[in-house]
Chains A and B, each alone.
Chain A
Amino acid sequence: MAEQVITGYKRWLEGIGEQGVFFKNFSRNIFRGGFEWSEFVRQCYEIGYRSMMLVGITSFIMGMVLILQLRPAMLEMGAESILPKTLAVSFVREIGPVIIAIICAGKVASGIGAELGSMKVTEQIDAMEVSGANPLQYLVVTRILATSLMIPLLTVIGDAIGLFGGYLALNFTDDISFSLYFHKCIASLEFIDLFPALIKTVFFGFAIGFVGCYKGYNSNKGTESVGLAANSAVVTASLWIFVIDAVAVQITSLLFYR
């Protein structure tokens, strides 16, 4: 039993070390011998544009559901008029970034993990390496940077759609004009609501790309490894999102709410 714990602990430490080396190799290859612009743009399209529908629908439903859930409690307190503000602050600060990042972890991290895993199994990564090309630069750098850029953009779009969903839900029962609703939403948001939320999504995006690439790139050479890489990428990326969120909230609190 004790031996198993020690072995597990050793493997965990080895994993951390390997991720450190992977990060170092990623950093060293960002601009080494030119940047793969065309692949980066293709990845932005694949990761950003192709995730927009999913993010949009989820955000829209989340905005609606939140308003419908909040309204009875707010009515009881006679605070119905602050519903737009409550939704805007909670959605932009926390719910939007985290939910969108989790959805993207499921879609993007698993996709990257499975794609690189299958490339590993079919020796495409080895072929790239022995040809003298740089697979880290072509496959890893482009994907990590694309997720780091696209997740914040998806979050901004998702936030807007979520607030619109809230507006429609509010109009099921109440009558509020579009301009008044959005005026209330925007007026309630301050720099400290927007900026830290946006910054943390860059880290969410990085975690999604990094974990997906690490799991796929280092998968074993068997067909079941592809599934394992995809599954492990989703689980690990989701966990990282919550850890980063917890740290980001602590830092924001220390900096802005003392």
Chain B
Amino acid sequence: METATKHTKENKQALKNEVVVDIDHISKSFGNNEVLKDISLKLKRGENVVILGKSGQGKSVTIQCIVGLLIPDKGIVKVFGDDVGEMDADELKELRTKVGFLFQGGALYDSMTVRDNLEFPLTRVLKLTDQAEIDKRIEDVLDGVGLLDAIDKMPSDLSGGMRKRAGLARTMIVRPEIMLYDEPTTGLDPITSREISELILEMQKKHKTSSIIITHDMECAKITADRVVIMNEGTYIAEGSFDELKNSEDTLVRSFFNETT
């Protein structure tokens, strides 16, 4: 009995330490512009990693490499141990059902209502056919992000914050194991930004996802981060907890914090 409990604890610990995303020395250039320079990052199961940096530093490019939207020129990106660059179309499709991606503007399909936006991945990706189950999942997830009242609204009728919530709901509805957030609070007022940041944390706890959050919003980083990575000119310059980095003795890191707060 005691041995069994010990094994269960060991398994839980092993699962917690499991690396779900392994970025290994990747570089990416667009023409003569080298956006990523030999970057490495590991994301563990259940962990929230925030990549902080100013605009145009290659943060978004990094997460686009994780879902195979971009292929790095050098290096390897492994998700759940599989090399994304080596995947064929079907394998990539399979991977993308496990990895959710929230775009900066929410990227809602503007010809569809919020309900249809959420139904789209359920019928196309998960191939659900039971309308009652589809409706229940849509209502549950919209309730979770506080948007149940907007279920039949068009994206053009939603505010910036509501669009992000709806985008988050559409991503979460397929219950991904990894979430990638591309500047989730950009363009929002401080109160809505905070609400979105808290929602990200709530979703992570509720669905036990691992997340990479790209942002230059320090408030968002402070709320959501287990670990912060600072990116500058295509490379990582520091890594640690939010407080560690904030009090760092490195002038560059500290000046970066002062600059962005």
On A, residues with C-beta under 8 Å from B are 119, 122-124, 126-134, 138
Evaluate contact between B69 and A130: CB separation under 8 angstroms: yes
Evaluate contact between A132 and B97: CB separation under 8 angstroms: yes
Evaluate contact between B121 and A129: CB separation under 8 angstroms: no
**B120 interfacial by beta-carbon distance below 8 Å:** yes
Query: How many of chain B's residues have a CB under 8 angstroms from any CB in A?
Result: 23
Evaluate contact between A124 and B120: CB separation under 8 angstroms: no
Evaluate contact between A134 and B105: CB separation under 8 angstroms: no
Within the assembled complex, what's the spacing in Å between the Cα atoms of A138 and B112?
13
User: Across the A-B interface, how many residue pairs have beta carbons closer than 8 Å?
Assistant: 54
Evaluate contact between A127 and B125: CB separation under 8 angstroms: no
Contacts of B167 in A (CB 8 A): 127
B67, B93, B107, B120: which has the most chain A beta carbons within 10 Å? B107
Smallest CB separation, A38 vs chain B (Å) = 10
Contacts of B99 in A (CB 8 A): 130
Within the assembled complex, what's the spacing in Å between the Cα atoms of A16 and B131?
44
Evaluate contact between A138 and B110: CB separation under 8 angstroms: no
Contacts of B67 in A (CB 8 A): 130
With beta carbons under 8 angstroms apart, the residue of B104, B110, B121 that contacts A131 is: B121
Within the assembled complex, what's the spacing in Å between the Cα atoms of A130 and B108?
13
Within the assembled complex, what's the spacing in Å between the Cα atoms of A224 and B170?
28
Within the assembled complex, what's the spacing in Å between the Cα atoms of A181 and B19?
80
What 7 new A-B contacts, CB under 8 Å, besides A127-B107, A130-B96, A132-B94?
Answer: A122-B110, A123-B107, A128-B109, A130-B67, A132-B174, A133-B120, A134-B124
Within the assembled complex, what's the spacing in Å between the Cα atoms of A132 and B101?
11
Within 8 A of A (CB), among B93-141: 93-94, 96-97, 99, 101, 103-105, 107-110, 120-121, 124-125
Evaluate contact between B125 and A131: CB separation under 8 angstroms: yes
Evaluate contact between B174 and A123: CB separation under 8 angstroms: no
Contacts of A130 in B (CB 8 A): 67, 69, 96, 99, 101
Contacts of B107 in A (CB 8 A): 122-124, 126-127
The digit string for B182-203, where 1 denotes a CB below 8 A from any CB of A, is 0000000000000000000000
Smallest CB separation, B70 vs chain A (Å) = 10
Smallest CB separation, A191 vs chain B (Å) = 42
Smallest CB separation, A24 vs chain B (Å) = 13
Within the assembled complex, what's the spacing in Å between the Cα atoms of A130 and B174?
12
With beta carbons under 8 angstroms apart, the residue of B101, B108, B124 that contacts A138 is: B124
Evaluate contact between A123 and B121: CB separation under 8 angstroms: no
With beta carbons under 8 angstroms apart, the residue of B93, B103, B108 that contacts A132 is: B93
Evaluate contact between A129 and B69: CB separation under 8 angstroms: yes
Contacts of A134 in B (CB 8 A): 93, 124
Evaluate contact between B125 and A123: CB separation under 8 angstroms: no
Contacts of A133 in B (CB 8 A): 120-121, 124-125
Smallest CB separation, A226 vs chain B (Å) = 13
Evaluate contact between B125 and A132: CB separation under 8 angstroms: yes
Residue of A nearest to B111 (CB): A115
Residue of B nearest to A138 (CB): B124
Residue of A nearest to B98 (CB): A132
A124, A127, A129: which has the most chain B beta carbons within 10 Å? A127
Contacts of B93 in A (CB 8 A): 132, 134
Smallest CB separation, A11 vs chain B (Å) = 14
B96, B104, B124, B167: which has the most chain A beta carbons within 10 Å? B124
Evaluate contact between B97 and A127: CB separation under 8 angstroms: no
Contacts of B103 in A (CB 8 A): 123, 126-127
Contacts of B170 in A (CB 8 A): 131
Offer 20 A-B interface pairs, CB within 8 angstroms, sorted by A.
A122-B107, A123-B103, A123-B104, A124-B107, A124-B110, A126-B69, A126-B103, A126-B107, A127-B103, A127-B109, A128-B109, A130-B96, A130-B101, A131-B96, A131-B120, A131-B124, A132-B93, A132-B97, A132-B125, A134-B93
Smallest CB separation, A14 vs chain B (Å) = 15
Smallest CB separation, B38 vs chain A (Å) = 25
Smallest CB separation, B118 vs chain A (Å) = 11
Within the assembled complex, what's the spacing in Å between the Cα atoms of A124 and B104?
11
Smallest CB separation, B53 vs chain A (Å) = 19
Evaluate contact between B121 and A132: CB separation under 8 angstroms: yes
Contacts of A132 in B (CB 8 A): 93-94, 96-97, 121, 124-125, 174
Residue of B nearest to A39 (CB): B111
Contacts of B97 in A (CB 8 A): 132
Contacts of A128 in B (CB 8 A): 109, 120
Within the assembled complex, what's the spacing in Å between the Cα atoms of A124 and B108?
6
Smallest CB separation, A200 vs chain B (Å) = 31
Within the assembled complex, what's the spacing in Å between the Cα atoms of A257 and B199?
72
